[in-house]
Structure 1
Amino acid sequence: MPDLLDYLKGQQLEMESALQKLVEAESPSKNKPLADQCGIVLKELFEEIVGGTAETIVKEEVGNQYRFTYGSGAEQILIIGHYDTVWDQGALPLRKEEGVLYGPGVFDMKGGLVIVLWALRALKHVGEEGKRKVVFLVTSDEEIGSAQSRGLIEEEAKKSALVLVPESSISTTGAVKTSRKGIGIFKISVRGKPVHAGINPWAGASAIDELVMQLAELKKLDNQEENISINIGTVSGGGRTNVVAAFAEADIDLRFRNTAQGERLKSVILNRTSFIEGTEVEVTGDINRYPMEQTDAVMELYQQLKEIAAGHGYELEHGNSGGASDGNLTAAIGIPTIDGLGPVGDGAHAENEHVILENLPYRSALLAELIKRHMN
């Protein structure tokens, strides 16, 4: 049987061309017209490169989403990805320098989408099919919380033996992700009692003072040793310097390592009482994604990947990511999920976002070999 890596090495220029085409089709999460254009490009690439079944899932508020299928088995392997990016149109130029491609979403995660397309193409080239088909689900709202795709992702995951996530690898090392932190998103709002700040300020109750005390207390939950972080992302409040503040609010990002931590921290954050008499405190929000925890099943998948990589001449590492992905959703419902199968590069959400092009065939072959092992 032809060697998958050798075949894919011969496809590198075509892979680069497809990636450039996909990155040029800019796709900000909140710009549906642009996102839809990118989705069409992706669908056309799938039909050209793989030739399987392509289903468009129409969405009203975000870009349309896609269910691509390779093979016809009764069981399935699920690959999940997204084509939306954090970049506004024109915010980041596309350029190629010394074997490195820079551009919006090239690392997070259009490079991963191209890796999947060629992994499936390679399997088709060698005539590989089995009792399991491959469902490649590509969504358009991951960067803004997956509200329009979460149900679809979970539905497909429940039908699947395992889930593979070609999100960007751990920067610079190319390590895959065997665990991810969970994330909670909360808003704390405070109402105070406004009075003149000079005549009798003690007759009022400052919402800003109360908020400052609340945030100082919440920051005590930070624990680097336990991988718990509290980030105060935005703060606003008050109206005039000579008025005791009537209102103040802040947005809070919580990251945690395991489900037990998340439940405990959620309770602490939501159940706040005021420090200052005359103020009212309300906290809204919830756990957005539970962690992708490092289970025995996940480590078995990693060991298989490590063995495949060794056969390709390099050592593959694994690690944890502080960021969440849609892989958190599938792991949370008990489906073995491994992440970070995308390209080697760096700069996710940063101006130096880039992918190392010569590595694309290796990452695609890594994925293809893993899929092949689980198709039968």
Structure 2
Amino acid sequence: MLITDWARQALPAMLDDLRAVVEVETHSYDKAMLVKGLRAIRARAVGHLGTPDDEILHEGGQHGDILELYYRGTAPGTVLMLSHYDTVWPTGTLANWPFTVVDDKATGPGVFDMKTGLVQSVWALHGLRELGLPHPSVRFLFNGDEEIGSPASREHIERASEDVLATLVFEASMDGALKTARKGVGLFNVSVTGVEAHAGLDPDAGANAIHALAEIVTTLATAGSREFGTTVNVGMISGGTGLNVAAGRASCGIDVRVTDPSEMGRIDDIFDELQVSDPRVKISVTGEWNRPPMMPNPGSERLFKEAREVASGFGWLVDEAAVGGASDGNFVAALGRPVLDGMGAVGDGAHARHEHVLIDHIPERLSLSMGLLAALA
């Protein structure tokens, strides 16, 4: 049986698996549900692939745990398959937004980002085994903290990606295109401390932290660079205690995205040099660069070329895309290791209520995954 034929006949069972994992909600900040969700994922993987040749569970502390399942292949080398199982959707979302299949769409919290890709990764190895096709060893790594920056799983991802033939990231595709470049991400907070005073009785005695923060926000709003692909977004702001009080405190949260690694230093300098007109105001900046940019390297370029040839053999054209969002693939690429992202679903609506996957494309994406694994053998 051809890979594409097998993938098409596997679709109903894959949708059953997808329903099972979507219906266990796994919000990044709900540890109890993350534990339950990971158990459901392991049960599905072991049900299709049998007992792994090696299994490691890394405690995630307050974050989701990290599960590695290793299955020995029939050819030399190992491929790392990365999938996160946490979602941005709070527990309880499923009550008024259940997993639903209508026409060519499946919808539900986390279905696009990225539980379809997670299911697909397991079925890719399952399919190759069923068809008796050669394949490298496979190490699955499922982490439950990607949506909040992978604070617990980063070290395990970096270790697991060492000395592998390739790292395949099963994040959703970009309209079917594989993701070969992603922006780096910095998450920062600026806190301002002023001097409280009665806004009417003694306005000159106050140093209004909100007014000072407004100056800072204006500076940050112009810190981006279209030329270099840098964006700076002040996404949260808070401060003050009353309308008639010169605010003593104010703060804002900032999301920075960079394509060019050199831009990280420029943005750092801007934060270091922040000033406001009132000298009584104190400024504090906290935060860090959460993910480095994912930039193409020779190994990743070869990997994309291989994937494109596999797709061509099936009669499809696969493009590549650079995107503004980050993933765990950023960590791998920053180490100069071959990585290919966007192996997962075709659909739309990541982090939005119209999140969905296009069902007719699932067999195609599964075929591409299976074909690439076989080619790497």
TM-score, length of structure 2 as denominator length = 0.94
Q: Among 278, 284, 294, which residue is 1:292 paired with?
A: 294
Cross-structure match for 1:272:
274
Q: Does 2:223 align with 1:221? A: yes
Q: Which whole-Å deviations, capped at 9, do the CAs of 1:25-61 have from their partners, x for residues lacking one?
A: 1111111121111111111111111225144334332
Equivalent pair of 2:228/2:260 in contact (CA under 8 Å): no
Letter in 1 for 2:223: L
Cross-structure match for 2:104:
99
When residues 58 and 128 of structure 1 are mapped into structure 2, their CA distance, relative to the original with a 3 A threshold, is farther
Cross-structure match for 1:371:
373
Equivalent pair of 2:229/2:260 in contact (CA under 8 Å): no
Cross-structure match for 1:150:
154
Q: Distance in 1 between matches of 2:51 and 2:125?
A: 9
CA positional deviation for 1:226: 2.4
Cross-structure match for 1:167:
171
CA positional deviation for 1:74: 6.8
Letter in 1 for 2:260: N
Cross-structure match for 2:68:
67
Equivalent pair of 2:299/2:337 in contact (CA under 8 Å): no
Q: Which whole-Å deviations, capped at 9, do the CAs of 1:87-142 have from their partners, x for residues lacking one?
A: 12231321110021101111111100111111101121233445x42111000111
Letter in 2 for 1:195: A
Cross-structure match for 1:252:
254
Q: Distance in 1 between matches of 2:141 and 2:299?
A: 22
Q: Which whole-Å deviations, capped at 9, do the CAs of 1:208-247 have from their partners, x for residues lacking one?
A: 1111101101111122332211111111111122221111
May I ask how many residue pairs the two structures share in their alignment?
A: 371
Alignment of 1:83-98 (within 5 A): 83-91=85-93, 92-98=97-103
Equivalent pair of 1:52/1:71 in contact (CA under 8 Å): no
% identity of equivalent residues: 35
Equivalent pair of 2:158/2:332 in contact (CA under 8 Å): yes
Cross-structure match for 2:185:
183
Greater CA drift, 220-229 or 19-28: 220-229
Q: Does 2:113 align with 1:108? A: yes
Cross-structure match for 1:22:
21
Greater CA drift, 218-227 or 321-330: 218-227
Q: Distance in 1 between matches of 2:76 and 2:325?
A: 34
Equivalent pair of 2:188/2:285 in contact (CA under 8 Å): yes
Letter in 2 for 1:19: L
Secondary structure of 2:357 counterpart: strand
CA positional deviation for 1:274: 3.4
Q: Distance in 2 between matches of 1:75 and 1:317?
A: 26
In structure 2, stretches of 5+ residues that fail to align are none
When residues 283 and 189 of structure 1 are mapped into structure 2, their CA distance, relative to the original with a 3 A threshold, is same
Q: Distance in 2 between matches of 1:270 and 1:45?
A: 49
When residues 122 and 27 of structure 1 are mapped into structure 2, their CA distance, relative to the original with a 3 A threshold, is same
Greater CA drift, 16-25 or 263-272: 263-272
Q: Which whole-Å deviations, capped at 9, do the CAs of 1:330-366 have from their partners, x for residues lacking one?
A: 1111111111110111111111111111211111110
Q: Distance in 2 between matches of 1:278 and 1:345?
A: 52
Equivalent pair of 2:298/2:338 in contact (CA under 8 Å): no
TM-score, length of structure 1 as denominator length = 0.94
Q: Which whole-Å deviations, capped at 9, do the CAs of 1:245-302 have from their partners, x for residues lacking one?
A: 1111100100110211122212322332333221111111111101101233322222
Secondary structure of 2:344 counterpart: coil
Q: Distance in 1 between matches of 2:48 and 2:329?
A: 25
CA positional deviation for 1:313: 2.2
Equivalent pair of 2:170/2:341 in contact (CA under 8 Å): yes
Letter in 1 for 2:171: E
Greater CA drift, 7-16 or 268-277: 268-277
Cross-structure match for 2:203:
201
Equivalent pair of 1:66/1:138 in contact (CA under 8 Å): yes
Cross-structure match for 2:11:
12
